[in-house]
Structure 1
């Protein structure tokens, strides 16, 4: 199951009335049906906080923390809790709301900002609303009589408080806030990549007990491990997780060329670790891209057929003619992905290149490619895309960093993962297509899409009706 860290296994023992007993030998399990329980153990003592509140502040978790649903409102100082209790009683009896003093409001906002920052320093609109909803649900005396939902002004107050709190985090040296407050041109290498709309540069703190020295030792251990014919994948998984904070500081803070990253972090550049790294950054499975693509493929193909009559849609026409020759699921995915730039009149020549595996040399094929895909096939290509793909490779800065990818759709998914893992800009020639894949296909910040993406999504939804 890929469980990491220390844990105990227990099972329901029928000989003792199905009581939970520690499992020491697999032969102890009942033959007909076994019920197991996994107990995660921690080396450090954990406070008496509940599981919900512990999940917000666990120092051992150095990957992206999912937003708690519902948000857990913490206890405030003793005097504030006494005032809230009395006001809640009055609200229950008479329906009167509390007149919140400046000191009480400041205490509430400070405590909430501290809890929010342990999950993310950059909460979204939905996050603020979930906190405000939980606040008035726990303390109904704080409801606002003039707003429909009772928390409209609390959302605005939280936004201002988080802005001030980020200033304090930056002064304290919080890496994620420091790098996101940095202005363009302040780096020693290339200018800072602009965060994609609705996102921030995710830069977590190192896990508890992890120093720069131990991270560097783990990196050197991985350098030796990947050189083995049969590396220990479980060990690499654990060390990649432990060194995530250091790696993000290098990728975002130093912005080294990809060749240097390949030399320093060779364990990252394979499908397994790109998927894992993407999950740490976005808390989403990278290959959910394929499920999202399949959900939109029928609508996109219908829209392609409706658009090929336009003289500007020659790319779509050639793609659809190619699909008619061999209509398989993989070819439908390929047709949709290669036809997508046609909706935005984008030029794909610098991003997507077809190549005969027995033809030109790779240096010639990759010349000028900053980021993109090489789609390999055998023989002369007479169609918009090959019916039989030999292999697909991901290229960054004229360097192949992932290869032997079996199909075009998986290649696009790994290309998206690479862009996130290496903190790259979307190529300007296909920025609308990549934004569509991000916002619509992968559902990453879908409410922040541009007008062109929003318009295409609306058209596709009409075909779903």
Structure 2
């Protein structure tokens, strides 16, 4: 069944129902492999490439904890976004390095001609580590589309890599070309449209591969 999954994933027109059925039947096998062998992420995904598909990764995570965490994450995030943005604006009005970075992020957001819910979520999530003084430039990386290949992620243990189409120096990109998740110097998921779903998928991946329960 694993080989059948690999064959189906490689097709241009994937049968997602078949992939889902086969993934459900082989769930126990994957958990056993993770618990007993502790495989590298790249090797594990080469054996189980369906976990690069958003719907399958979400299903795998829900199978482990029996909760639709994606919906809960969005619900709680949307509930607190307005309050978080108010805190960011309050802090940005002060002086200091953190306030300056927050001002830059808010300036880019305020200049967006159209702001949808995903942009609001991006603002809330991307400014949070800055506000908490925990921002890490090695985790949040930005590369030009032409550079966002394997050469651009050398010596990158873990990162969310935003690909952009120009040489802008904006602190945050609210309409990126795409975002990729990098683990152990390898792109494990790509073509992610926005930061909110990227962070959710990243959390799912970390729990799916690291959980021993």
TM-score by length of 2: 0.88
Give the distance between the partners of 2:41 and 2:125, measured in 1 at CA.
Answer: 26
Give the distance between the partners of 1:393 and 1:268, measured in 2 at CA.
Answer: 14
1:342 offset after TM fit, Å?
Answer: 1.4
Partner of 1:408: 195
Give the distance between the partners of 1:368 and 1:300, measured in 2 at CA.
Answer: 33
Alignment check: 8 A CA contact 1:371 1:395 kept: yes
- 1:283 corresponds to which of 66, 70, 73: 66
Q: Do residues 346 (structure 1) and 134 (structure 2) align? A: yes
Alignment check: 8 A CA contact 2:102 2:130 kept: yes
Alignment check: 8 A CA contact 1:350 1:368 kept: no
**Rg (Cα) greater in structure:** 1
Within a 5 Å distance, the mapping from 1:39-78 to structure 2 comes to: none
Give the distance between the partners of 2:148 and 2:54, measured in 1 at CA.
Answer: 24
Partner of 2:151: 364
Residues 284/312 of structure 1: CA separation in 2 closer, same or farther (3 Å cut): farther
Partner of 1:336: 124
Q: Secondary structure at the match of 1:381?
A: coil
Bigger relative CO (Cα 8 Å, ≥ 6 apart): 2
- 2:30 corresponds to which of 221, 227, 247: 247
- Structure 2, unmatched stretches of 5+, are none
1:312 offset after TM fit, Å?
Answer: 4.3
Q: Secondary structure at the match of 2:210?
A: coil
Q: Secondary structure at the match of 1:392?
A: strand
- 1:307 corresponds to which of 82, 87, 91: 91
Aligned length: 206
Q: Secondary structure at the match of 1:411?
A: helix
Give the distance between the partners of 1:286 and 1:270, measured in 2 at CA.
Answer: 17
Alignment check: 8 A CA contact 2:122 2:174 kept: no
1:347 offset after TM fit, Å?
Answer: 3.4
1:291 offset after TM fit, Å?
Answer: 2.5
Alignment check: 8 A CA contact 1:322 1:383 kept: yes
Partner of 2:163: 376
Residues 266/344 of structure 1: CA separation in 2 closer, same or farther (3 Å cut): same
Give the distance between the partners of 1:281 and 1:237, measured in 2 at CA.
Answer: 15
Within a 5 Å distance, the mapping from 1:100-111 to structure 2 comes to: none
1:315 offset after TM fit, Å?
Answer: 2.6
1:258 offset after TM fit, Å?
Answer: 1.3
Give the distance between the partners of 2:170 and 2:68, measured in 1 at CA.
Answer: 33
TM-score by length of 1: 0.42
Q: Do residues 295 (structure 1) and 82 (structure 2) align? A: no
Partner of 1:399: 186
Structure 1 or 2: more helix by fraction: 2
Partner of 2:110: 324
Alignment check: 8 A CA contact 2:178 2:194 kept: yes
1:387 offset after TM fit, Å?
Answer: 4.1
- Structure 1, unmatched stretches of 5+, are 1-217, 425-465
Within a 5 Å distance, the mapping from 1:2-401 to structure 2 comes to: 218-288=1-71, 289-308=73-92, 309-313=94-98, 314-326=100-112, 328-329=115-116, 330-358=118-146, 360-401=147-188
Give the distance between the partners of 2:95 and 2:87, measured in 1 at CA.
Answer: 12
1:408 offset after TM fit, Å?
Answer: 1.6
Alignment check: 8 A CA contact 2:175 2:194 kept: no
Give the distance between the partners of 2:170 and 2:81, measured in 1 at CA.
Answer: 20
Give the distance between the partners of 1:223 and 1:382, measured in 2 at CA.
Answer: 40
State the Cα RMSD in Å: 1.9
The CA deviation string for residues 392-414 of structure 1, in whole angstroms up to 9 with x for no partner, is 11111111111111112111111
1:290 offset after TM fit, Å?
Answer: 2.3
Residues 246/337 of structure 1: CA separation in 2 closer, same or farther (3 Å cut): same
